[in-house]
Structure 1
Amino acid sequence: MVEQFKSLPKSEQLRLAEQYGIDPSQLTSAKSQSSTQNQNNYNTPVVQPRNDQSDDSQKQDDDLGFLKDDQNQPLKRFGYEMFAGSPTTFAPVSDAPVPSNYMVGPGDTIKVQLYGKDNEQYELTVTREGILQFPGLGPINVNGLSFSELRDLLSKQIKQQMIGVDINITMGELRSIRVFLAGDAYKPGSYTVSSLSTITQALFVSGGVSDIGSLRNIQLKRQGKVVATFDLYDLLLNGDSSKDLSLRSGDVVFIPAMGPTISVSGDVQRPAIYELKPNENLIDVVKMAAGLKPGAYPKSSTIERYNRDGLKSIINVDLTTSAGQKFVAKDGDYLRVKSASSEYDNAITLVGAAVRPGIYQWVKGQKISSLIPTINGDLLAGADLKYALVVRQINDVGDIKVLQFSPARAITDTASQDNVLLMPKDKVVIFNASNHIRNRYELNRLVKDRVNKIQKISKTKGNNSDNSLVNTDLFQSGFSQLGQEKLGQRHQLAGVVLAKDDAAPQESDLVSTEVEKMLLQLFNDRGLIKLSSEFNRQELLYPIIATLKTQSRAGKEAKVVAINGEIQYDGIYPLVEKATVSDLIAAAGGLKEGAYIQRAELTRTYTDADSSSIAHLNVNVKQAMDHEAGADISLQPRDVLTVLKTPEWQETQSVEIRGEVKFPGNYSIRRGETLEQVLTRAGGFTDNAYLPSAVFVRDSIKKQEEIEIKQMADQLRRDIATRGISKDGTVVNYDDAQKMLTDLEHIKAVGRLVIDLPAISLGIKQADLQLEDKDVLYVPAQKQIISVVGEVQHPSTHRFKSGMTLNQYLEMAGGARKRADTDRIYVIKADGSVMMPHNSFWFSSEDNLSAGDTIVVPLDTEYKDNLTLWSQVTSIFYNSAVALAAIANL
C-alpha cells in the first residue's frame, strides 16, 4: 500500500493525505509492509479511498456553478457517498455460511466426516472436470449441482455402500472466481473475488461507481445476456438486498451511464440529486428525499424545468393534492419545497419585566388579567405597575396601533378599562420601573457572541476586543449610538466637516448594527424574548417607535410624541390610543421631585397643505394628573411636552468639613451659602487648627484640571512629533517620550482651590466664597516643619524656625546640586499658593517663610557638563579654522 501510495502523482498524494489527516512525509519514508498482508486477498487490485467529487476541478465547479439548495449548500448526488470510504483492499468471504443453493464448482473443497462403524475425515477438492474423488466410492460427478444436491447425493451413496456409517458434509475453502466490472465503474477491469461474492461486493472491490455511473440500473450479464438488474436505491432506501445476486465465474457487472436526475432542496429531510426511473412522480421523489420536514409548506412547492426554448420555467405544484403527487418528474427538474411561515396565527407575545416572558396561545375573550393573573407571581420585582403597552397589528401590511394600560389596575380590578381585551398577534410589553434594576450580564454575553461571529465572518480584528466587550455594557453602548445624529459622526466640527470614510467597520459600529437588528427582531427572537426583562424602557420602545415611524406618510404624521424636562425618562414615546398628558407622564416614569406642577408647556405642530406652524399651550400638570375636565389634554402626533422645574429648586447639596473644627462632618447647603457660614455651623476652629495649611477641594475644578492635563499631553505629543522637547531641537528617545506621555496622562487631578482661610476667619468678605455641591475643606493641625525637595544633596524636612532664611534651609539639605536651576527656586506655601523670589540672589527679607511651606529646587534642563561644552566649543573652533583656511586660499 505504501509503495502504491508513492507511485501516485504528487497532487493525488496530497489530496489523500489531506482527506485522511496523514503526513505524506511519514508514508513516503516508511518501510514497505504489504507483501505478506495481502496474500489472502487473491491479488485484488488496490483501490484508493475517495470522496465523491473531491478533486480540485470538481471543487472549482462547485464554487462556480454547481447546484446549490436554498441554504447555499452544494447538492450531492445521492448514494455515491456509500463508496467514499471504501476499503483499500477487499478480503473475500471465506468464513460465511454457505447457502443451500450455492453452485459447487471446480476448486471448491468438500469436508466429509464419517462416524459410527468407521471414523474418517476427508477434504475433497472438486476437479476441473467437476469430479469429486471419494476414497472407496470412486469418482462422483458433481458438476452443476447445488450444495444441497451434492450433500444429498453423497449421503445416499455412502449409506448404500457403507452400512453402519453416518456422514456429516460441510464446505471447506471456496474457490475464487474471475468477474469483470465494466461501464462507468470507478476502476473498471477484471477482479478475482470469492465465489460467494454478490454484485455489491464486486462494486466495493472496484471502488464503486464513477461520478457519472448509474445506481439504479446495474446489470449482471452472464454469457452475453442480462440475467438481473439491480437498483442500488432499493438497498439504500429500503434495505432490500433480494436482487443482490451471487456472482459466477465469468460474470460481467455492467454499470451504464446515469439516467435522468432531479434535484431536491428546501424543507426535505435529505436534499440531494436523485436518479430517476421512467414515469416516477413527485411522491416517489419525496420518498427518496426521506419525506418532508415538519416546517415544510408543500402547498407552495415549485418545479424548475427547461423548456423547448432553452429557458427555465417555473411550475407550481401542490404536494398535498393527488395531482401534485402524481406529477411526473423529468430529467433536469429542480424541486424546491418551501418552508412554512414563522408567524403565529393565534399567539400572544409577552416581553419585558415578566417572570415568564414568551409566546402564549390566544384564546377568544382573553384579557390582560388572564395572561398575567397576579402581580407577585407573574411580574418581576421592580416592574412598572403604572405603565405597560399592547402593540396590535391592524392590517395585513403590518401597521400597528398601541394601547396603554396599568398592570396594577388590570390585575386588581378586572372590570376596569386597563384590563384590555387581547387579540391574536398582540404583543404585551411590561417595563421596568428603573433602567438600572436588572443585571445585564446574560444580555451582554449574547451581544458579544453575535458580534464575535460577525467579526469572524468579516475577518475584522480589533485591539483588546475581548476586554472592551467584557468590561462595558455592550447593549447600552450600542443602543446609545442608534440615537446619535449624523453631526455626531463627523470627524471634525470646526473648520471643514469631513464625511465619514468607508473604512472597515470598527467594533463599536458592529455592536451598534447588531443591537439595532436585535431590537427590530425583538418580538420574533426567542433568545431576546427570554432576556427581555433586562431591557430598559427606551430599548423596549425602540422597535415600536421604529415601526410607527415607518407608517408615516405625506399627510399622515408618525404617531409618536416626546417629553422632556423634570420627568424620570425623557425621550420619544408611541402615541397610544386616546392618549392624554397624564398618560404621557406615566409613560415617562412620572415626575421628578422638583417638577413644577402648576404649568407645563405643550408644543404642537399644525400642518396643512401649504405650510406648517408651531403653537405653545400651557398645561396645569396637577389638574391633568387629577384628570380634571379640560386639563388633561388629548395628545396629537409630534406633540412635545416640557415639564418645567420649580423656581429656585435645587437638588440636595452637601459639603464636607474635616480636620480641626469643633463639629466635623457633612453639611447640607442652600444655594449661595458661603464657606464662612458653614464654618459657623461647624462651631468654628479648634485651638490646634493651623489655618494657613487648609486644603479646599472642588469637584468642578478637578474636572477642569483633567481636561487641561489631556490638553497638555496632546501638546507634548505634537512637540515630540515635530521638533522634540529640548531647546536645541534634539529629538528625545521615542520610548522615553512615550513613558513621559503615559505618566502625564495618568496624573490624577487634585482639584485644589487656594483659599485664604485666615482672612475668612477674620470675616473679610472679599476672601469668602460660595460653596458648591461636594466641596471638601480640610483644616490640619498645627505644623512646625518646612520641606526641601528637588535638586538638593539630601531632600529632607526640617523644623520651622522663625527668622531662618531660604539659604539656611538649603544648607541644612546639603546645598544645591550641579544640575540645580538656582535662578528658578520657588516656594509652595502651606495654603497651596506659589511664591517666587524677588531677586536672583536667594530671597529678600520681604519673602518670609512660614510653617508648612515647601522649598522646591528645580532641575536645569539646559545643563551641560564640561566635556559636552568643550566638545561643542572645539567644533566651533574647527569649523571657523576651516572657513578661514578656505578664505585664505581665495
Structure 2
Amino acid sequence: MKKIIFAFLFCTVFMVSYQIKAQNILQAKDLSTVSVDQLSEADIVKIQAQLQSNNLTIDQAEPMLLSKGMSASEFIKLKSKIAANAPKTASEKSSASSSGRKQIAITNSIVKDTLNTLVFGSELFSNPTLNFSPDLQLATPVNYVLGPGDELQISIYGVQQYSANALVTAEGKIAVDYVGQLSVAGMTIEAATQKIKNAIAGVYSTVSSGQSKVSISLAQIRTIKVTIVGAKQPGNYSVSSLASVYNALHVAGGPSKNGSYRNIELIRNNKVYKYIDIYDFLVKGDQSSNVSLKDNDVIRIPAYSTRVTIEGEVKRPGIFELKKGEHFANLVSFASGFSESAYTASVNVVQKTSKEFKVKDIAQSEFKNYLPQSGDVFKVTKILDRFENRIKITGAVFRPDFYSFTEGMQITDLIALAEGLKEDAYTNRARIIRLKEDLTTEIINVDLKAALSGEATANQPLKREDLVTIYSVLDFKEEYKITINGEIQKPGTYNYFEGLSLNDVIIESGGLTGSASKRVEIARMLKAESIDAASDARIKLFNIEITPDNNEQTKDFILEPFDVINVRKLAVYEKPQTVTVSGEVTYQGNYVLALKEEKIYNMIVRAGGLKKTADINGVRIKRLIKEEQIEAIANVAASDSLKDELTNRLKNKLKYATIPINWESIVKNRNSSSNIRLFEGDEIVVSSYNESIKVTGNVLLNSEMPYSKGKSFKYYLDAVGGVDAKGWKRKAYIIYPNGKAAVSKSFLFIRSTPKVLAGSQIVVPEKPEVRKLSTGEFVSIAGVLASLAGVIIAILR
C-alpha cells in the first residue's frame, strides 16, 4: 500500500513540475517544485521569451520568483542557464575564447550626459568609450572574494587527471567529485585555492605525493548588486564583481544636475568606506579612489557645496566644483592654467549677494588667498594690444625693426642697435613720429648729421612707441624709364641708368628680330623753363641708322630718361603664306600664295584643275573665323550667358566660315565676283559629283533619293511623304553643294521655290511654338477693340 501511495505522489509531483515548466513561469503560483536541471534548452528559450515580452531581466524577476517558492539555489541555476544561453557579443566571444573566463550577462542602459555639459568632469560620463569595465582577460586579483554565482574551474593533471567546473551555491559551497562540499564564500581566491588543494590532496594520493598537480581558476564571474543615489539614473544596478566605483558611476550616468564630483561616498556595511574625488583622476590621473565594489555597496552622491564658473582666456573654461579651503589658484590649475594672451595682473569676478550682483577685482597677489564663493563667475580678459617698451626704426639702416626701449635712449643709440646707417642714408634730416599722452601724434625732425657728430642738442631723446625714419637719398630720385617698341624680341619698358645707350637697351630687350630695318626712331621729351610760342613741337625726334644683322652697333647713341625707341620693320618682309586645296582636283595639298592678290581660279589651275568627277556646283572655301570676328559677333548677344555660349560655339564647334563659289561664273569671266582673293589658312574644297538629293528636318521620312533633272522642290518633298505636323513648309530651304542656301519666296500670292541641283540638301524647319490666347485675354482684347470702335464712331459723327 505504501508503494502505491509513493508512486502516486511521485507521478503527481512530476506532472505538476512538468506542467509548471510547460506553462508561463511568470504566471505560475507555486514554483517550489521546479527543478532547473530537468529544464531543456527549449524551456530556457521559452523562459527568455517570457522575460523579454514582459520587459524584464532575470535579475528584475528574482524577487517575484523567490516569493513564489523557487529556492535560491534553483534561481542561481536558472540564472546561469539563461546567461549561458544568451547570445554573446563580439567582445564576449573574444574574451571567452582567449581566457576561458565568462561573465554573467549584464544589461544596463547608459544615457549620455547632457545636463552637465559645461561642468568639469561631465565628459567622463558622456563618452561611451570610457566605461571603466573590468578586463576579463587579466589575472584574477588575489584579494578577490568569492561569493554565490562564481564558478571555479578545477583541473588535476599529471598521473591522475580530472577537470570540472564548480559553481558557488547560495549557501557559499562548491561540490567536488569524491571530495565533497567545501565552503568558500567570503574567502579570497588565494585562500580558497589553498583550501581546495588541501582537500583534494586528502583524496588523491598522487596530489599529496606531487605526482599530480592541481590548477584552480575563476571560470565565471558573478554579478553583484550596488545601489547608487544622487546619480543621473539612481537605482539598483547589477555589475560585475570585478567592477570599480568609476564603472558603476558611468553606468548610472554620473552625478545628477546638482550632484558633487568631489565628495562622492562609497558606503559599505553602513559606514563610509571611501571618499571619491573625481578631480584627482582628471587632473592628476590618480585612480587610488577607484576601488573595487562589493555586493550591496552603496554609492552616495551628495549635492555640491561650491560651484564657480571661469571663462575667457583660460585653457579650459567651464564650471568647476571647489572643496572647502580651495583658492582661486586651485581653480586656475583645474582650468589647465591661463592662455598665452591672458591678462593676469587681475581677474574680474561677478558675485551674487542676497539682493543683487556685485563686481570685484582680484589682484595677482591674492590668487593663492582668495576663497571663491558658490556662483562666482570669473572673467579672464586678454592683455592689451600695446607694448610697454617698444620702439621702431625704419629706412636706410642695416636692420630696420622693433627694438626694446630703455629710459634715456637717444636716436644714436637706436641707430647703433640697428647696426648703423646704410651708404645711401640721407643725413641732413631724420623723422620721429611720436605718440603723445592724449594718443595724438606729432612729428619731430632731427638733424641727423649733427646728432652723429656728437651735438647733444641734436641727439634727440626717444620715448616709448616712437617711430624713427631714416631717409635714403634714393627716395628723392625720380624713377626713370625707357620704352622700346617695334621689331625687337621683348618690347616693353625698362629701367633707365645714367650712361645708358641704345645698344644696352637692344641687348636687354633680347635683340632685334629678323624683320628689323636699319631705321630707328627715338622720341625725346622737351624740357625748358619757358614756353617757346614760335614752335609747336611736343617732342624731339632722332632718326638713326643701325646694322640690322648685328646687335652690337658701331655707332652708339646715349639715351635720356623717358626716351621712346621705335625699331622699324623692313618695307618688304612677309613670310610665305599657305592655303590648302582638297577634294576633286588633280594635285591636292598645301600651296603658297605666290601673288599679293592670289585668287581662287589661279590656285585651282595650279592644282591641276578640276577632275571629271568634280561637281562644278560644289566649290567652296573654308575660312578660319578670327578672334576679332568672334568678339564682334558675340557682342550682339543680349546677355553674358548667351555671349559665352555663342563664343564657345564659334571657337570650338564651327571654327570655319563657309564661302560658296560659283565656279561656272568664274570660268566664263575671270573678273567675276566669285573669283575672290585668298588669305592664309584658307581651304579650297571641291566636292565630288553626287547624284542624289537629301531631304531632312520635319518631314515624314528623312531620306536620300536619286536626283532627277528638272524636278521641282515640291517633287522631292512629296517623295518623302510631305511635311509632318510640326513642319514649316513655307520656310523650307535648300543647301547647295557649295554651301550656299536658298529659301522659298512669296510675292502677291505667287510662291516660288528654289531650283534643285544634284548633291543638294532640302531642309524643312520646325514651326515656332505659338501660345493661344486664354479666354480672359480674348475678352480683354475684345473689350479694347469695342472701346476703340466707339471712339472712332464718335469722331466720325
Larger radius of gyration: 2
More helix by share: 1
The two structures have a TM-score, normalised by structure 1, of: 0.41
More strand by share: 2
